[in-house]
């Protein structure tokens, strides 16, 4: 199993920054953070977002590596 650097970069680049529109609940959180100037909550939200993105990318890299393993021809032990 050898994903190339190019393969990994393509996986990272294909990760959406923020798919779709924010839910009304999330918009409410944004409004509360802004209204209250709640820097701690903002930092927590940003860290949570970065963590989720990293988990998604990690999962996609693992899936690509597993798919690559399934595609590799098996060596014939009878040779």
Q: Which pLDDT does position 18 carry in this prediction?
A: 77
Which pLDDT band, with edges at 50, 70 and 90, does 47 fall under?
A: very high
- Contacts for 2 with CB less than 8 Å, ≥ 6 apart: 68
CA separation, residue 34 to residues 11, 21, 30, 67 (Å): 33, 19, 6, 44
pLDDT 10s digits, 27-42: 999 999 999 999 999 9
- Contacts for 48 with CB less than 8 Å, ≥ 6 apart: none
């Amino acid at each position: 199993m050898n994903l190339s650097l190019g393969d990994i970069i393509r996986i990272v680049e294909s990760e959406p920054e923020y798919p779709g529109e924010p839910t009304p609940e999330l918009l409410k959180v944004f409004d509360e953070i802004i209204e209250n100037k709640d820097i701690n909550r903002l930092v927590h939200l940003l860290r949570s977002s970065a963590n989720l993105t990293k988990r998604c990318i990690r999962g996609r890299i693992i899936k690509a590596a597993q798919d690559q393993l399934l595609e590799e021809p098996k060596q014939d032990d009878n040779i």
